[in-house]
Structure 1
Amino acid sequence: MSILRIELRRSAAVGAALLALTVGVATLYLARGRWSDGWLSLALTTKEYMILLWPIALAAGAWQGRREHRAKVGELFDTTPRSPLRRMLPVLVAMGATLGLAYVLVVVAGGVQLASTAGYFPPDVVAIVLVGAFSLVAATWLGLGIGRLLPALVTAPVLAVAGVLLVFFTAIMQPDWMAAVLSPAYGSGGFYPFQTIDAGVTAALAIWMVGLALTGVLLLVARNPRVWLAAALPVLLGFGAAAAIVPRDEAALVAPVDPVARELVCTDDAPKVCVTRIHANVLDTLTPLAREGLAVLAKLPNAPTQAHEERRAYLTDGAPARDLDVVTVFVRIDERGGLAHPGVVVPEMVFGLGIGYADTRCERNGAVERAAAYYLLGRQPVSAVEEIPEVFEEDPETTAEAVALWQGLRKLPEPEALSRVTAVRDAILACRDSSGLLSR
Structure 2
Amino acid sequence: MNMRILRIELKRSIAPWAGVAAFTMSLAVMYLVMEKDFLTTTGWTNQWTSMALETRAPLYFVWPLAAGLGARQGLRDHRSGATELLISTPRPTSHRAAVLSAATAITLAAAFTAVVLVGGVQVLTNTSYTHLGWVPISLVGALTVVSGAVLGMGVGRTLPFVLTPPAVAMGILVLTVLAQLSLEKVDAATGFSTWEPNLFSLLSPAAQEARDVLLTLSVSVHVGQAIWLCGMAATGFVLLTAANLRNRLIALAPVVAGAVIALLVLPSDPRQVYVVDKAAARLVCDGPVCVTNTHRARLNDFAGPARDALRMMRSALGDQAPILIREDTEVWPDSSRPRRFRQTALFDFEDHEIAAAKGKELTRALIANSLVPRCSAYLGATSSSDVSAQSIAASWVLDEPEPHSSDMAYLSSGQQDEIRKVYGELTSLPRAEQRSRISTMYLGAVACKGDPFAALGGGASR
Residue 260 of structure 1 corresponds to: 279
Name the amino acid aligned to 2:232. L
Measured at CA, do residues 105 and 354 of structure 1 come closer, stay the same or move farther in structure 2, by a change above 3 Å?
same
Measured at CA, do residues 14 and 227 of structure 1 come closer, stay the same or move farther in structure 2, by a change above 3 Å?
same
Q: What is the CA distance between 1:315 and its match in structure 2?
A: 1.1
TM (norm. structure 2) is 0.83
Residue 80 of structure 2 corresponds to: 71
Q: Is the 8 A contact 2:23 2:112 kept in 1?
A: yes
Q: Which whole-Å CA distance do the structure 2 matches of 1:427 and 1:207 have between them?
A: 50
Q: Which whole-Å CA distance do the structure 2 matches of 1:333 and 1:316 have between them?
A: 14
Q: Is the 8 A contact 2:327 2:347 kept in 1?
A: yes
SS at match of 2:199: helix
Q: Which aligned pairs between 1:210-359 and structure 2 lie closer than 5 A?
A: 210-253=230-273, 255-267=274-286, 270=287, 272-298=288-314, 299-302=316-319, 303-315=321-333, 319-332=337-350, 339-342=355-358, 345-352=362-369, 354=371, 356-358=373-375
Q: Which whole-Å CA distance do the structure 2 matches of 1:89 and 1:423 have between them?
A: 72
Measured at CA, do residues 384 and 199 of structure 1 come closer, stay the same or move farther in structure 2, by a change above 3 Å?
farther
Residue 16 of structure 1 corresponds to: 18
SS at match of 1:243: helix
Residue 94 of structure 1 corresponds to: 103
Measured at CA, do residues 290 and 69 of structure 1 come closer, stay the same or move farther in structure 2, by a change above 3 Å?
same
Residue 3 of structure 1 corresponds to: 5
1:194 aligns with 2:194: no
Measured at CA, do residues 29 and 121 of structure 1 come closer, stay the same or move farther in structure 2, by a change above 3 Å?
farther
RMSD: 3.0
| Residues 355-392 of structure 1: per-residue CA shift (max 9 Å, x gap) | 522479xx9954455323322234433577766xxxxx
Q: What is the CA distance between 1:142 and its match in structure 2?
A: 0.3
Aligned length in residues: 425
| Residues 163-184 of structure 1: per-residue CA shift (max 9 Å, x gap) | 2221221345489553255222
Name the amino acid aligned to 2:392. A
Q: Which aligned pairs between 1:98-117 and structure 2 lie closer than 5 A?
A: 98-117=107-126
SS at match of 1:124: coil
Q: Which whole-Å CA distance do the structure 2 matches of 1:221 and 1:8 have between them?
A: 20
Q: Which whole-Å CA distance do the structure 2 matches of 1:386 and 1:151 have between them?
A: 65
Measured at CA, do residues 364 and 300 of structure 1 come closer, stay the same or move farther in structure 2, by a change above 3 Å?
farther
Measured at CA, do residues 204 and 427 of structure 1 come closer, stay the same or move farther in structure 2, by a change above 3 Å?
closer
Q: Which whole-Å CA distance do the structure 1 matches of 2:332 and 2:413 have between them?
A: 28
Q: Is the 8 A contact 2:25 2:58 kept in 1?
A: no
Name the amino acid aligned to 1:250. P
TM (norm. structure 1) is 0.86
Q: Is the 8 A contact 2:317 2:439 kept in 1?
A: yes
Indicate the larger mover: 106-115 or 290-299.
290-299
Residue 390 of structure 1 corresponds to: none
Measured at CA, do residues 395 and 165 of structure 1 come closer, stay the same or move farther in structure 2, by a change above 3 Å?
farther
- Among all aligned residue pairs of Structure 1 and Structure 2, give the percentage whose two residues are the same amino acid: 31
Q: Which whole-Å CA distance do the structure 2 matches of 1:199 and 1:38 have between them?
A: 19
SS at match of 2:290: strand
Q: Which runs of 5+ in 1 are unaligned?
A: 388-392
Q: Which whole-Å CA distance do the structure 2 matches of 1:29 and 1:144 have between them?
A: 30
Indicate the larger mover: 296-305 or 345-354.
345-354
Q: Which whole-Å CA distance do the structure 2 matches of 1:383 and 1:147 have between them?
A: 64
Q: What is the CA distance between 1:433 and its match in structure 2?
A: 5.3
Q: Is the 8 A contact 2:391 2:408 kept in 1?
A: no
SS at match of 2:126: coil
Q: Higher RCO, 1 or 2 (CA under 8 Å, sep at least 6)?
A: 1
